[in-house]
Amino acid sequence: MKIEELIRQNNIKITNARVEILTLLKNADRPLCYEDFREVISMDKATFYRNISKFSEKEMLNSFESNDKKRYFELKKSSHGHFVCLKCNKVECLYNIKFEIDGYSIENIIINGICKECQNS
């Protein structure tokens, strides 16, 4: 689905900032924090968070705070977990692990540990 179509479906006005944010999230292979966006696009923090707030309000995003005290964002797709390295703070999506608890709907779970790279260094 095209980004403009996604924005229209959620009854949000299309702006360059919104297209840029959602394009980065769509193309990312992991959740992104504000610093990840700042490296790629020129946008002040207030504009970024105002748009993130709008997307969250429309339930377009998943977000969580990591052990590095940064908030990470991703487009809502299928339910999955995340692995956060306690040494390097790397965040990875875990799609091949299923989490089920009778009577509950789980959208996200975070597993903390040491990644392969940090274990080998």
DSSP letters, 21-41, are HHHHHHH-SS-EEHHHHHHHS
Name the average pLDDT for the chain: 92
Q: pLDDT for 103-118, tens place per residue? A: 998 877 899 999 999 9
10 with 68, same domain: the answer is yes
**Distance (Å, rounded) from C-alpha 36 to C-alpha 41?**
9
When divided into structural domains, the chain yields a total of: 2
- The domain that contains 43 carries what CATH number? 1.10.10.10
Q: Enumerate residues 6+ apart whose C-beta is below 8 A from 10.
A: 55, 58, 60
11 HSE (CA, 13 A, CB side):
3
DSSP letters, 64-106, are EE-TTS-EEEEE--S-EEEEEETTT--EEEE-S-----TT---
59 with 100, same domain: the answer is no
Question: Token pair of 13, please?
Answer: 């006005």
Beta bridge partners of 32: 73
Question: In which band, very low, low, confident or very high, does the pLDDT at 74 lie, cut at 50, 70 and 90?
Answer: very high
Q: pLDDT for 78-104, tens place per residue? A: 778 899 999 999 999 998 887 788 999
Q: pLDDT for 24-70, tens place per residue? A: 999 999 999 999 999 999 999 999 999 999 999 999 999 999 888 99
The pLDDT of residue 119 is 94
The pLDDT of residue 98 is 78
The pLDDT of residue 6 is 94
Domain residue limits at 22: 3-75
The percent of residues in the chain predicted with pLDDT above 70, rounded, is 100
Is the full-model pTM beyond 0.95? no
